[in-house]
Structure 1
Amino acid sequence: MLGKTAGGLYWMFRSLERAENTARLIEAGFRIALTRSTNAEAEWRSVIVTSAAQASYEAGHDVYDSAQVVDFLLRELSNPSSVVSVIKAARDNARLVRTALTTEVWSAVNETWMLFTDLLKEPIPQTELPAVLATIRQQSALVRGALYGTMLRNDIYDFCRLGTYVERMDNTARIIDVKYYSLLPSPSFVGSRLDNVQWETILRSVSAHRSFRWAVEDDFTAPAIAEFLILDRRMPRSLSHCANQIVGCLSHLAEEYGGREASHELADALDTRLRNRDINSIFEEGLHEFVGSVLEKTADIAGQIERDYRFIG
């Protein structure tokens, strides 16, 4: 496969996953803001910091108002990671690789772009925000369903899935970080009822509230929820599950192309680090520090994938 085609597939699904996870990040901030009566500006600022968009946001905005933050993350074309921007990027990449996609996948991406172009023409009132965020998540699931149901399990499929899981791992780590590092008001709140409510809110923001109840016998405590989101491979948005899926996709590519690349070694190392951990050792290391290292290693893997498979040139 041409590197340009592989890159188009990879970035199409990274963009689609980013749209969904931006919606989830907004929801995390929105729900946590509802549990706190003071310092809302700091909470919305933490959402922008976690989305890695602080510099571009502050270039055009003076305050961290909820309406401005939501509009920036959903609608502003000046923000390359806004939902409107990334859905356009996904559709552009889909057009680039149109001959590699089934009709169902192309139609799902194109319809998603048309829907969001209309849905996000105007600022979203706060009362309508939950429904809009749900629509974004649903459309992402629709495209994934078309991919699962109609595409051959070959290198095309593996590059699509790589894009999904690299982006998902990055975003799950950021959502965990927005909770524990940015939003927890004081160390004195650790283990408190407020702390546990906020952790429960994070579970809901990654659609993991019910699965946590099914899979974990513990109450909604910080260690139990952190373990579920970081180490439980049954949870499809956990860091460990994403790392395992990245390794699997790269292994399929190694079989397809007859050799391993440097990105395979980086992915194996990260997967091993997550496989051989328990949550107590992570808390001892420092949750923020641990999540930060995962973000760095995920970025390293993503960059190496682009070089190994020659996405550019």
Structure 2
Amino acid sequence: MLSKVAERMYWFSRYIERAENTARMVGVYDNLLFDLPRSINISWFNLVVINSSEDVFNARYTVRDEKNVVKLLLADSTNPNSMTSSLLMARENVRTSRDVLPLPLWELINELCMYVSEHIRDGINRTNRHGFLDNVIKGCQQINGLLADNMSKDAAWQFIRLGRNLERADMASRILDAGITAQLSSTDIEQDLDPSQIIWGNVLRSCDGAMNYRRTMRVTVEGSRVCQFLLHDKHFPRSISFCAEQIEAAISLLPTCEIEELAKLKALLAEDPGNLDETFSDYLNDLQLSFANLHMQFGQCWFALV
């Protein structure tokens, strides 16, 4: 397979995953801020921090309010990580690689991009936001379902698998970090209300994992158990350990190349991250650095070939 085609498959899957994650995260965060007591100091700008988009935001906006944050994350074409930008880049990668992808995919990605273009105001305004975001999530999942059922599991598929699971693991670590930050901010607890359950319940919903958590862990929603589930569960598709196993499996089916960072990631996942405090945040930062190093080594191994 040509390295440029491999890279397009990798980035196509990352962009689709990023668009879905962004849509889900905005919707869940909307509910989180509505449910939490006012005494807990959490703002919409935290979503910008989760996505490492502070510089992009500060260059475009002066007020850190809901409208500007949602606009940056969903609609801003100057933000390369926005939902709209991600979908357009996914579409471009499909357009230039149609000979290795299922034929109906081109129609699906066009329909999704057209829907977002025509209804993006619904995402920025509160009234119809959740319906709009749900439709985007369903569109991304429809694309992934088409690929899973109709695409040969050849090298092109393995690069799609690599990109999807690396993006998914990275986002899971960022969502966990946001949960830790919110937990540390919840110092003033109102009577008869446990903010930690609200916070960690929304962390699970950000990863579409609430039902799986209840079925697997069989305990109430607790921060330490949620972190354990999203870090180490071997069966949940959005846990970091599951994603790491998928990455390792994909690598084993691709042309031989030494990805040294994979062993370091597995060693990190075997560590005990400790209590839910700043030390845990440092551990999550180490995971994010490992994901960045994996991405760099993928590029050096497979995408830099002439």
Aligned-pair CA distance for 1:69: 0.9
Cα contact 2:223–2:276 (8 A) shared by 1: no
Change (3 A) 1:40 1:120: farther
Determine the structure 1 residue equivalent to 2:115. Answer: 115
- Distance of 1:212 and 1:54 partners within structure 2: 32
Higher helix share: 1
CA-based RMSD: 2.2
Q: 2:257 aligns with which of 255, 260, 283?
A: 260
Aligned-pair CA distance for 1:186: 4.6
**Aligned pair count?**
303
- Distance of 1:127 and 1:184 partners within structure 2: 31
| Post-superposition CA distance 1:134-181 (Å, at most 9, x none) | 112111111101111111111010001111011111111111111212
Matched, 1:137 2:144: no
Letter in 2 for 1:292: N
Determine the structure 2 residue equivalent to 1:203. Answer: 204
Cα contact 1:75–1:82 (8 A) shared by 2: yes
Q: 1:271 aligns with which of 261, 266, 290?
A: 266
Matched, 1:194 2:231: no
- Structure 2 counterparts to residues 71-150 of structure 1, below 5 A: 71-120=71-120, 124-150=124-150
Cα contact 1:48–1:69 (8 A) shared by 2: yes
Is there any run of 5+ residues in structure 1 with no aligned partner, and where?
A: none
Aligned-pair CA distance for 1:126: 0.7
Letter in 1 for 2:71: D
Deviating more after overlay: 292-301 vs 110-119: 110-119
Cα contact 2:184–2:277 (8 A) shared by 1: no
Matched, 1:246 2:247: yes
Matched residues, percent identical?
27
Aligned-pair CA distance for 1:284: 8.0
Cα contact 1:43–1:182 (8 A) shared by 2: no
Matched, 1:171 2:164: no
- Distance of 2:148 and 2:281 partners within structure 1: 34
Letter in 1 for 2:61: H
TM-score by length of 1: 0.90
Cα contact 2:180–2:277 (8 A) shared by 1: no
TM-score by length of 2: 0.92
Letter in 2 for 1:268: A
Is there any run of 5+ residues in structure 2 with no aligned partner, and where?
A: none
SS in 2 for 1:169: helix
Aligned-pair CA distance for 1:24: 2.2
Cα contact 2:19–2:83 (8 A) shared by 1: yes
